[in-house]
C-alpha cells in the first residue's frame, strides 16, 4: 500500500531530491508525465539516476511533445494494479491532472501548488476553472505566502499545508570562505521577459565599477547581449554540478523577476553563502529579511534597486554575509519533508 501516488510533470532534480527524502519515511510511487523538457537551465536539470524511490515515466521524451490522452491511458492501467491512500498532483494545468482528480474521491486528492496570486488569473472564466479543480482537492501543499493568497482569492476551504519550498536543491560539499566584497553580482535563470533582465541590465550599464554575470539562455538572449555594456558578462548554460563555482566567484545574487512562483535559485544562493537581492514578486523572497541577509525590492523600482546596490559597502556586505550563514537551508528542508508526513 502506497502512502502517496505522486504525479508530476518531469523528474526535475529538486523534485527527485524531495522524493528521496519522503521515501525514507513514506511508501511512495512517483509518476512522471515525461522524462525531459525543452525548457531547462542545463542538461542535468532532469535526472532519475539518483532516484531512491519507485517511479514510472509515461513518455520517454520532451514534455512538450507528449500525447496527453495516451498518458491518461497509461495512468489508468498503472493505478488499476496498485493500492494507495492518497493521490498528489503537481498542478492544475494538465489534462492528466484533471483526469486524475475527477476519477478519485475528493478525500484522496492532494495538490502541490506552485502558482501564486501574482501570475494567476482569478477573475471570470479562469477563476471558475480553477475553482472547479480546487473543489476536487481535500489538501493543498502550498509553497508559501503568495500561494496561500491565491487560495484565499479563490475561496478555497480545504486543508492548507505550507511547505516553504518546491523541492530540495543539490547540496554538494561546500566550505564557506569569507570574501572581500568586490562588487560582483550574479543572475541565474532563463533569459526571458518575465525575468526582468532588460531592467537589470539598464541599471548595471550605468554602474561601470560593478560586474554583473548572467547565466542562462532563452529567447531574449540576443537582444539582451546587444544592449549590455562590457561590465555585463553572459556565460550561457552551466551544468548543475558546476554551478557552485559561479556562486563562489561572485558576491551577491540578484533576482529581479516580474513574477516567479518560487525561485529555487534563491535557495541555492543562500546555501552557497551569497546575500540575495530579490523581487518582492518572487515566492522565495519570504526567505529574505530586508537588510539582514539581503534585500527585497519592487521589480520596476529602478531608483530603489540602484540605491540598494550603491549602499552596499564592505562593512554592510560583511553583515549580510554573516546573517546568510545563520539561515540553515537544511533545517528548512527538514520541515518541508515533515509537512507531507
Q: What is the pLDDT of residues 258-303, one digit of tens each?
A: 999 999 999 999 999 999 999 999 999 999 999 999 999 999 999 9
Is the whole-model pTM more than 0.85? yes
- Sheet with 184-188, side-by-side order of all strands: 232-236, 211-215, 184-188, 252-255, 276-279, 294-297
CA 66, chain centre distance (Å):
23
Q: What is the pLDDT of residue 230?
A: 97
For 23-176, where are the alpha helices, taking DSSP H only?
Answer: 68-80, 95-102, 124-134, 145-153
Q: What is the pLDDT of residue 173?
A: 87
- Sheet with 159-162, side-by-side order of all strands: 54-57, 28-32, 2-8, 84-89, 109-113, 139-142, 159-162
Helix count and strand count (H, E) for the chain: 12, 13
pLDDT of residue 94 exceeding 90: yes
Distance, CA of 166 to CA of 164 (rounded, Å): 7
Split at pLDDT 50, 70, 90, the class of 113 is very high
Give the Å distances, CA to CA, from 149 to 122, 155, 258: 11, 10, 17
- CB atoms < 10 A from the CB of 185, how many? 23
pLDDT of residue 174 exceeding 90: no
Cell numbers representing residue 37 in the block: 523538457
pLDDT of residue 39 exceeding 80: no
Q: What is the pLDDT of residue 72?
A: 98
Q: Are 243 and 188 in contact (CB under 8 A)?
A: yes
Q: Which of 37-51, 146-160, 213-227 has the lowest mean pLDDT?
A: 37-51
Domains, the chain: 2-168 (3.40.50.2000), 184-328 (3.40.50.2000)
Give the Å distances, CA to CA, from 212 to 194, 275, 281: 18, 15, 21
Give φ, ψ of 252 to 5 degrees.
-140, 140
Q: What is the pLDDT of residue 44?
A: 80
pLDDT of residue 42 exceeding 90: no
Distance, CA of 59 to CA of 305 (rounded, Å): 44
- pLDDT top residue among 135 and 174: 135
DSSP H or E stretch at residue 22? helix 13-22
In percent, how much of the chain has pLDDT > 70?
99
Q: What is the pLDDT of residue 176?
A: 81
Q: What is the pLDDT of residue 103?
A: 97
Widest distance between CA atoms in the chain: 63
Cell numbers representing residue 146 in the block: 503568495
Query: CA 42, 48, 52, 54 torsion: positive or negative?
Result: positive
Tell me if residue 51 falls in helix, strand or coil: coil
pLDDT of residue 81 exceeding 90: yes
pLDDT of residue 40 exceeding 90: no
- CB atoms < 10 A from the CB of 129, how many? 13
Q: What is the pLDDT of residue 68?
A: 97
Q: What is the pLDDT of residue 278?
A: 98
Q: What is the pLDDT of residue 110?
A: 98
Integer Rg of the chain from CA: 21
Q: Are 253 and 275 in contact (CB under 8 A)?
A: yes
Split at pLDDT 50, 70, 90, the class of 240 is confident
Split at pLDDT 50, 70, 90, the class of 226 is very high
Q: Mean pLDDT over residues 59-74, rounded?
A: 96
pLDDT of residue 45 exceeding 90: no
Amino acid at each position: 500500500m502506497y502512502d502517496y501516488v505522486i504525479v508530476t510533470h518531469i523528474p526535475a532534480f529538486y523534485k527527485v531530491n524531495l522524493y528521496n527524502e519522503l521515501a525514507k519515511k513514506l511508501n511512495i510511487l512517483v509518476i512522471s508525465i515525461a522524462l525531459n523538457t525543452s525548457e531547462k537551465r542545463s542538461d542535468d536539470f532532469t535526472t532519475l539516476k539518483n532516484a531512491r524511490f519507485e517511479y514510472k515515466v509515461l513518455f520517454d521524451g520532451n514534455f512538450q511533445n507528449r500525447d496527453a490522452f495516451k498518458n491518461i491511458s497509461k495512468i489508468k492501467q498503472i493505478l488499476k494494479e496498485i493500492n494507495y491512500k492518497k493521490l498528489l498532483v503537481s498542478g492544475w494545468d494538465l489534462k492528466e491532472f484533471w483526469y486524475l482528480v475527477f476519477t478519485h474521491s475528493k478525500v484522496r486528492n492532494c495538490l502541490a501548488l506552485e502558482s501564486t496570486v501574482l501570475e494567476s488569473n482569478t477573475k471570470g472564466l479562469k477563476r471558475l476553472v480553477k475553482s472547479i479543480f480546487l473543489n476536487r482537492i481535500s489538501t493543498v501543499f502550498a509553497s508559501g505566502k503568495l500561494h496561500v493568497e491565491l487560495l484565499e482569492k479563490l475561496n478555497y476551504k480545504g486543508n492548507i499545508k505550507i511547505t516553504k519550498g518546491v523541492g530540495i536543491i543539490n547540496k554538494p560539499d561546500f566550505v564557506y570562505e569569507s570574501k572581500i566584497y568586490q562588487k560582483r553580482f550574479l543572475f541565474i535563470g532563463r533569459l526571458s521577459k518575465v525575468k526582468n533582465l532588460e531592467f537589470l541590465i539598464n541599471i548595471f550599464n550605468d554602474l561601470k565599477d560593478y560586474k554583473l554575470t548572467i547565466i542562462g539562455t532563452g529567447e531574449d538572449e540576443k537582444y539582451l547581449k546587444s544592449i549590455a555594456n562590457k561590465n555585463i558578462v553572459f556565460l550561457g548554460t552551466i551544468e548543475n554540478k558546476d554551478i557552485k563555482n559561479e556562486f563562489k566567484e561572485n558576491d551577491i545574487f540578484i533576482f529581479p523577476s516580474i513574477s516567479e512562483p518560487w525561485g529555487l535559485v534563491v535557495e541555492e544562493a543562500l546555501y552557497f553563502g551569497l546575500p540575495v537581492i530579490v523581487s518582492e514578486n518572487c515566492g522565495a523572497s519570504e526567505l529574505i529579511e530586508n537588510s539582514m541577509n539581503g534585500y527585497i525590492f519592487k521589480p520596476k523600482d529602478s531608483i530603489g534597486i540602484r540605491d540598494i546596490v550603491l549602499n552596499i559597502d564592505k562593512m554592510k556586505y560583511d553583515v549580510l554575509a554573516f546573517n546568510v550563514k545563520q539561515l540553515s537551508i537544511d533545517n528548512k528542508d527538514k520541515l518541508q519533508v515533515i509537512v507531507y508526513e
